[in-house]
Structure 1
Amino acid sequence: MSDIFQSVYQHLQFSAEDIKVIAKAHQKIEITKGSFLLKEGETANEYYLLEKGLVRAFVHDYNNNEITTEFFVENEIVIVPASLFQRNPSQETLQTVTDCVLWKISFEDFQHLFHSVPGFSEWGRLWFTTQVFSLKQKSLDIVTETATNRYLKLLKEKPQIIQNAPLKQIASFLGITDTSLSRIRKDLSKI
């Protein structure tokens, strides 16, 4: 069994047997760089645990520019919650930035675990709470932090994004132009 299950599904209420049951509900898949996991307009029928690689979520703005809304790194859940849980067509597209190893779980299998594994619903509530806080912090950072500080924070917290994602995707995620990001990187290299 992969260590990713221990990492992602950390919860005091889970026994070793619970983790085995949860792991059995997932299917390992390997996907090449540039592949789509979910396209805008489709309804998500699964989510993924990212064991290896980098995935991004993006939308198109009113000028049809791609804007990266999220990066998913190893040991994170790759998901569009509104599409999966509300059964709505996704506004976002999920695409691999690198070759990836993922563990897929269907919505139906998730629902089964939710109702049959003690503690799974509590784990889910805690995971969602963490995601809400993270999203709120990102929103606050956009208006309270400089672009340089947002870049440095990303470099510190998720260096694999800086190492693997194209400049244009990183810039759109940070809410700046790729020219501004190039300038920031150049200025930081002088320090």
Structure 2
Amino acid sequence: MKVENFSTNGLISFIKNTYPVSDFTANLIADNFEPVILPKHQLTLREGSINSDYIFLETGYMRSYVLDIDGNEVTTNIFKPNEMVFEVESYFQRKPSNENIETITRCIVWIGKYEKCQRLFHTLPEFREFGRAILVKGFTELKQRTVSMIKEKSERRYENLLLESPDIFRNVPLKFIASYLGITNTSLSRLRK
């Protein structure tokens, strides 16, 4: 649901904290995003479609997931407030996505459509640098998660997530957290005790 009269303050603050830009440039970037309220459990990207939305998640929680060979959902990422949400390969290479992205809670988001963002990438060096900063952060987090899944025991992955993002445990169903950690619901329940 598109909304009117939403303040861009959160989006502008996020832009400026991600890459230092002037107030004028931050406002110029923010003017290319539209505020939308998304209900709980709404897909914003379906596997097989092309990701055309560059989403700033202002409030709420979202996740990306894939279906494994048995048809089970496996959570690949959990997104919290003040993060960008998009599927990199599909967005930039215009390929059908292998992932689904859905809201876990009701969310307020700011959506930058592909065409508008491409215009910004090509005309505004500060937006290119902002985008690069987002990609570097995402790549670094993915690399850390991949290494963690190989080198650390489930207990350590659980402890790290609890330390870094305790809010996730208050807002995200445990089955999604367990899947994200690469463990069963039963194992997560045991760890929480």
TM-score by length of structure 2 reads 0.92
Task: Write the letter of the residue equivalent to 1:168.
Answer: K
Separation in structure 2 between the aligned mates of residue 4 and residue 150 of structure 1, nearest angstrom: 30
Question: Is 1:6 paired with 2:13?
Answer: yes
Q: For residues 5-61 of structure 1, give each alpha carbon's deviation from its aligned partner in whole angstroms, at most 9, with x where no partner exists.
A: 22245323x211000110100000001111111111111111210000000000000
**Which residue pairs with 2:112 in the alignment?**
105
Structure 2 residue aligned with 1:38, among 42, 45, 50? 45
Separation in structure 1 between the aligned mates of residue 100 and residue 170 of structure 2, nearest angstrom: 22
**Which residue pairs with 2:3 in the alignment?**
none
**Which residue pairs with 1:51 in the alignment?**
58
Return the offset for 1:4: 2.5
**Which residue pairs with 1:17 in the alignment?**
24
Return the offset for 1:3: 2.0
Q: Among all aligned residue pairs of Structure 1 and Structure 2, give the percentage whose two residues are the same amino acid.
A: 39
Unaligned runs of 5+ in 1: 187-191
Return the offset for 1:131: 1.4
**Which residue pairs with 1:81 in the alignment?**
88
Query: What is the total number of aligned residue pairs between the two structures?
Result: 185
Task: Write the letter of the residue equivalent to 2:54.
Answer: Y
Question: Do the aligned partners of 1:8 and 1:75 also contact (CA within 8 Å) in 2?
Answer: no
Question: Do the aligned partners of 2:19 and 2:133 also contact (CA within 8 Å) in 1?
Answer: no
Task: Write the letter of the residue equivalent to 1:181.
Answer: L
Task: Write the letter of the residue equivalent to 1:83.
Answer: S
| More divergent stretch after superposition (152-161 vs 20-29) | 152-161
Q: For residues 166-190 of structure 1, give each alpha carbon's deviation from its aligned partner in whole angstroms, at most 9, with x where no partner exists.
A: 111111100111111111011xxxx
Return the offset for 1:146: 1.5
**Which residue pairs with 1:180 in the alignment?**
187
- Say which SS state the counterpart of residue 35 (structure 2) adopts: strand
Question: Do the aligned partners of 1:57 and 1:95 also contact (CA within 8 Å) in 2?
Answer: yes
Question: Is 1:125 paired with 2:112?
Answer: no
Task: Write the letter of the residue equivalent to 1:109.
Answer: K
| More divergent stretch after superposition (115-124 vs 137-146) | 115-124
- Say which SS state the counterpart of residue 3 (structure 1) adopts: helix
Question: Is 1:138 paired with 2:120?
Answer: no
Question: Do the aligned partners of 1:38 and 1:94 also contact (CA within 8 Å) in 2?
Answer: yes
Is the alpha carbon distance of 1:28 and 1:123 closer, same or farther for their aligned partners in structure 2, counting shifts above 3 Å?
A: same
Unaligned runs of 5+ in 2: 1-7
Return the offset for 1:155: 1.3
Question: Do the aligned partners of 1:8 and 1:76 also contact (CA within 8 Å) in 2?
Answer: no
